[in-house]
Structure 1
Amino acid sequence: MDKFQKVKEVITSIEADVTKFYDGNNGAAGTRVRKAMQDLKNLAQEIRAEVTEKKNSAK
């Protein structure tokens, strides 16, 4: 559950950069968004592994 909370925090933290990139053509903000998306991808993969492990151990 902690990792899911972290996902929500990362999304909240990059909202301003997403706006800066898409509405203001700010390249540096785009770089920060890309990094945050990579972090989200890694967190999502970790969550998937935990869910699979928990699901399989319940059997």
Structure 2
Amino acid sequence: MEQIAKLKELIATAEADADKFSKGNNAAGTRLRNTMQQLKVTAQEVRTAVTEAKNKK
């Protein structure tokens, strides 16, 4: 699934920004919050796709 690859990429981005934020970079905190929102949206897309595929069977 394409969304799983996107989730992995977002997680890697979130890890990098979380590390920078923990060192005092406030801009990284803003980026981290944005990335976490993108993770939430993408995860919901995966859930919807799985439910649709399951219901087709």
Which one is further off, 45-54 or 6-15? 6-15
Task: Work out whether 1:15 is the aligned partner of 2:21.
Answer: no
Partner of 2:49: 50
Q: Give the RMSD, CA atoms, in angstroms.
A: 0.9
Larger RCO (alpha carbons 8 Å, 6+ apart): 2
**Which ranges in structure 1 are unaligned for 5 or more consecutive residues?**
none
Letter in 2 for 1:56: N
User: For 2:12 and 2:20, how far apart are their aligned partners in 1?
Assistant: 14
Aligned residues: 57
**Which ranges in structure 2 are unaligned for 5 or more consecutive residues?**
none
Q: What's the % identity of the aligned pairs?
A: 53
TM-score by length of 1: 0.89
* Corresponding residue SS for 1:25: coil
TM-score by length of 2: 0.92
Partner of 2:6: 6
